[in-house]
A and B are shown apart, each in its own frame.
Chain A
């Protein structure tokens, strides 16, 4: 079956602009995660959804970042007033449930470049 998909694959924007990054999880997966991977680093957790609600948003760096999952499937990560430091690969993952033993399946990521 289809894996996790993310669109766009690449996004170039100018400082101060607003961007939306989309994640389509594997069908039937109730848990969805967003991570950010900066150059030369491992992925860093941003936010985790269980169904429609954000179960843990402790990784969001500031109030410019926001994510939604209104119907419990597709999720959108929204970044306002982008800064050059937001440049990174944004990864989405989904799993059958939010328990630790359940594998998280990752999408290919969206590479965001803020000029």
Chain B
């Protein structure tokens, strides 16, 4: 079974500041890990995914995440926040059989001017 834990249901940063959204996973098999973003009244959009090819994964909109097996973490970062980054972010995991995604509870990111 797999699970993910997102620390911090709400994160607020100033425009231009570093964004760090935390995700820790638990998996009995090598995991595939994902970050999705959900803008108000829109569907989930994939930001990036880890599929064991490289531990540092770059995604859309300047986001990246690093898979750290020793820490069972897959934190999402962006060097400089933009107002348009304000949204809810979900970390998700699936096993190698790749059917269902198991999501975390989400982190709502607010960006202050």
Binding site for B on A (CB under 8 A): 3-4, 31, 33, 35, 40-45, 48, 55-56, 59, 91, 93, 98-109
Question: Is A44 within 8 A of B103, CB to CB?
Answer: yes
Question: Is B100 within 8 A of A59, CB to CB?
Answer: yes
- Describe B's contact surface by its main secondary structure: loop
Question: Is B105 within 8 A of A42, CB to CB?
Answer: yes
Question: Is B43 within 8 A of A43, CB to CB?
Answer: no
Question: Is B43 within 8 A of A106, CB to CB?
Answer: yes
Binding site for A on B (CB under 8 A): 9, 32, 36, 41-46, 49, 51, 90, 92, 94-106
Residue among B41, B45, B101 with most chain A CB within 10 A:
B101
Q: A91-B44, A106-B44, A109-B43 are in contact. Are A101 and B98 (CB under 8 A)?
A: yes
Question: Is A100 within 8 A of B90, CB to CB?
Answer: no
Q: A100-B96, A100-B97, A104-B101 are in contact. Are A42 and B90 (CB under 8 A)?
A: yes
A44 to B100, CA, bound (A): 9
